[in-house]
Chains A and B, each alone.
Chain A
Amino acid sequence: MSAFAVASLSIVVVVLVAVAFGPDLLARARRRPRRMPRPTRTRLPDPGRELRAERKAEQLMRSVVGEDDFEAYRALGFLHAYGTAERGEVTPSYGYLIYPHKPIVSYDVETGELLNEHCVSFPDHTEKEHPERLPDADDVLARWMALRGDERGLIRAANMHLPGRQLDPGHVRRDIVRMSEWIGRSSPASHGHADIA
């Protein structure tokens, strides 16, 4: 048999097989369940790691803000910072309550009146897929350092709202009273003016 005949016969056989079994194979392929996409790897929360990070952050805060303010943070759950004193002022007329991962609240030192909520965050730019947030104490310390070092810059970066947008004003007022009592109990020299609310 010549090579041409063999090639022709092969083509004929292939075509016959395709005609005979093709539709059946196609139907079977369609009936096969589609393979489910593999689930993407999710990062499981590790409470141990978060706790260790929080402890480290608290030690850093303690070393930066000092023992008294750190103890106040541990007891009250927020840090306090005064605003910039105007010329001739001994004590600034306003201050801030710095909560972790919540708005910074400015208030009038003399009357205790709440002035504004300054919504600010420190988003994680290093992790695109699984952004994490700073431990609470680091978040508060970052706000405190930015307020002390560049108050206007931080306030400019923040979104400013009237009190009550995110935080309960009654709760914040109680925090100011708690802070005033705390300052009254501890050394006044380290905190300055203590007559609040």
Chain B
Amino acid sequence: MKPGHGDVTLAEGDPELAEDEALLIEAFRRQLDEGMWAAVPTIETGGKREATMVRDFADVPRDAERVIFFPPAAGG
């Protein structure tokens, strides 16, 4: 999520392919280094929508379709 723009695709790839995985890891780390928060949307059995916050690429489920980055929350 980019303020003023909506979502922007940062990187795409198949984590099963080593080259793609390296690209995804680099993009992931860059976002976290910039202080962004990362969430993985999920659909539970029964169709319930959930989200999981992740702080390490290893925490991203291998079958995750996407990781959404957004600015960190602050007291308003």
B:27-76 near A, CB below 8 Å: 34-35, 37, 39, 41, 43, 47-53, 68, 70-76
Per the bound structure, the CA–CA distance linking A60 and B67 in Å amounts to: 12
B51: chain A residues at CB < 8 Å are 64, 144-146, 148-149
A:17-64 near B, CB below 8 Å: 49-50, 52-57, 60, 63-64
If A56-B6, A145-B39 touch, whether A157 touches B73 (CB-CB below 8 Å) is yes
Q: For chain A, give the interface size range.
A: 35 or more
A119 closest partner in B (C-beta): B76
Number of B residues near A (Cβ < 8 Å) is 28
The answer on a CB contact under 8 Å between A60 and B7 is: yes
The answer on a CB contact under 8 Å between A120 and B5 is: no
The answer on a CB contact under 8 Å between B73 and A134 is: no
Per the bound structure, the CA–CA distance linking A145 and B52 in Å amounts to: 7
Partner of B4, one of A63, A133, A145, A153: A133
Partner of A158, one of B7, B37, B52, B73: B73
Partner of B41, one of A64, A119, A138: A64
The answer on a CB contact under 8 Å between A66 and B49 is: yes
The answer on a CB contact under 8 Å between A157 and B75 is: yes
B3: chain A residues at CB < 8 Å are 122, 124, 126-127, 131-134
If A69-B49, A144-B51 touch, whether A158 touches B6 (CB-CB below 8 Å) is no
A165 CB → nearest B CB, Å: 11
A4 CB → nearest B CB, Å: 70
B47: chain A residues at CB < 8 Å are 66, 190
B74: chain A residues at CB < 8 Å are 120-123, 157
- Render B1-35 as a binary contact track against A, CB cut-off 8 A, 1 for contact: 11111110000000000000000000000000011
The chain B residues found within 8 Å of chain A, CB to CB, are 1-7, 34-35, 37, 39, 41, 43, 47-53, 68, 70-76
Would you list the 3 A-B pairs with minimal beta carbon distance, nearest first? A56-B6, A132-B4, A149-B53
